[in-house]
Amino acid sequence: MNRSGRLFQRLKSRRLIALLSPETAAEAVAVYDALDPLGITLEVAFRTEAAVEGLRLILSRHPEALVLAGTVMTKAQAEAALAAGAAGIVSPDFVPAVVEACVSADVMCLPGGLADAGKQLALKAELCGCGLAELKEKFPYQWSYKLFPAVSGGRDNMGLAEAWRGPFKGLTVVYTGGITLENLAALAGRDPAGIFCASALAAKSENPAAMADGARRWISILESGRKAAPGDTSRLGEKAEARTAPAGRVVAFGEVLLRLSPPGCGRFSQTGSFEAAFGGAEMNAACAIAGFGLSSRFVTALPSHDIGRTAMSFLRSFGVDTSFILRREGRLGIYFYEKGASQRPSQVIYDRAGSVFAEVEAGAFDWEKIFDGAAWFHWSGITPALSPSAAAATAEAVRAAKRAGATVSVDLNYRRKLWSTEEARATMTPLLEFTDIAFGNEEDAAEVFGIAAPGADAEAGRLDLDGFRHAAEELARRFGLQKTAITLRESLSASVNRWSGCLWNGREFCRSRVYEIQVVDRIGTGDAFSSAFIWAHLSGRSDPEALEFAAAASCLKHAIPGDVNRVTVDEVDALVRGSGSGRVRR
């Protein structure tokens, strides 16, 4: 991923740009040093003579810095900004010569105004030698435009962005001009994917600490998931209220398996019967998300016989949308699960080769319709491991999700019984280029990508948080991820574990509360973690709050038989608040 690609990922994640017209180069560095650790991107406006030197000085001290050059009106200015190290160029108008200079250098270009959104996209596509659809897929950082002014005369112009996204679906819009702390919540509620640029973020450059404190208030508004109050939201004086329900639909893609287990903790060799249930990583997540009350759609292929129909009914019992599930002749994948106890580990045996899902192919699903109205797409490393055709279908899905403007998450889920580390690395690496958030454990990152957590030994019950921070940061850096969440399991025995989670979001590393667990069923606990984080994120909770919710939800899953987490939001929140005694509730 090039620098503009990394910049685009950062902007989509953080959604804030601080506009600065520096009086001196040192001022530009001071503002960058104060705001960059918070995840806020700096735009250096070419309104003063210090702009170019400020860019140069930032890049000389921070070679990996991702900085925008703003108010660029001529080809000469664009070339000077590029030579100074700008990762993206912003213009207050559509200037073809500036667009040409940026595209020829493969650098993000953000022209602006109240018109010309289509014209600049058409020019970018022509210069890239492709059509609009290919521009959106191959150069997502060019599928963008700046709405300027966003606010004028006390009213916003955000309806224009809504109109642009009719023919140009998934267009990333940067709003600038008239953006203030007071109207940010209302504007962000109108466009939950919008990026907001304001000079007010850099207004106290003489006092970096005060400037950073002020910036945190902006971040808090975006992370709290606030939205405009009902009524005429174009009137920015109206009060904003907290979001009470998550918006958008979550789509998950993967296989449904029939799980067969000896009763209790019996061994395969001694059982005369098996308990049957349905499971599968992505299905578990889809069901849990629906159980939390969020619209959830699951995409898979099921046999056309009665067992396939029973699996469909199981999904529907959670309220999962099954309208895009394929029904085909063939078999359902199976896995056998022997539950461990004390010092005897659990074991899983797969019998899923040649299942109807393993044989799905690219082109089998209408992804444009599937992602209509979707806010999020979740997949896992298990699906592309099943077969080359399933890997091709997964690649098709992640690309379509990004075209639709959905956030894409992956549970890395390395299964050594399905493929080798070399096969996993070769297949997963290009898929992660289209992914925003990764979930996993220490083995996933270490075995597939060689990213270890130094000093950690989960089997010995020893964790080194600095090592996990290193692993999370390196995963995010290598693949341009917005966030990386890692589950932390300390296996004292098969029956007793300590459980928590940690998160790196590009600016801070945090760890959840640690739970000591008596394990009833540990299958699906990682899926419980990822699904709870997705729900919390879409509900507007901050990253630390989402992490605590995910850790608590997955803690509770350890006490529930079967693959799927069957808990409510209230039950999880009660545990987050400290109610973990397990006393009878009357």
d(CA 172, CA 405): 8
Can you give the C-alpha Rg of the chain in angstroms?
25
d(CA 194, CA 165): 12
Are the C-beta atoms of 437 and 380 separated by less than 8 Å? Answer: no
Per-residue CA distances from 249 to 93, 534, 537, 566 (Å): 35, 11, 13, 20
Residue reference for tokens 């992602």: 371
- One-letter amino acid at 312 equals M
Catalytic residue, chosen from 527, 543, 563, 573, is: 527
3-state secondary structure of 383: helix
- One-letter amino acid at 194 equals G
> Cβ of 1: how many Cβ atoms within 10 Å?
14
3-state secondary structure 190-230: HCCCCEEEEHHHHCCCCCHHHHHHHHHHHHHHHHCCCEECC
Bridge partner list, 1: none
Residues in the chain: 586
> Cβ of 556: how many Cβ atoms within 10 Å?
23
List phi, psi (to 5°) of 356: -60, -35
How many helices and strands, by DSSP H and E, does the chain display? 21, 28
> Cβ of 571: how many Cβ atoms within 10 Å?
15
Q: In this structure, are strands 240-241 and 347-351 parallel, antiparallel, or unpaired? A: unpaired
Q: At what angle do helices 50-61 and 25-35 cross, to 10 degrees?
A: 50
- One-letter amino acid at 58 equals I
306 is catalytic: no
Sequence-ordered list of residues with C-beta below 8 angstroms from that of 579, at least 6 positions apart, any chain: none
Catalytic residue positions, numbered: 527
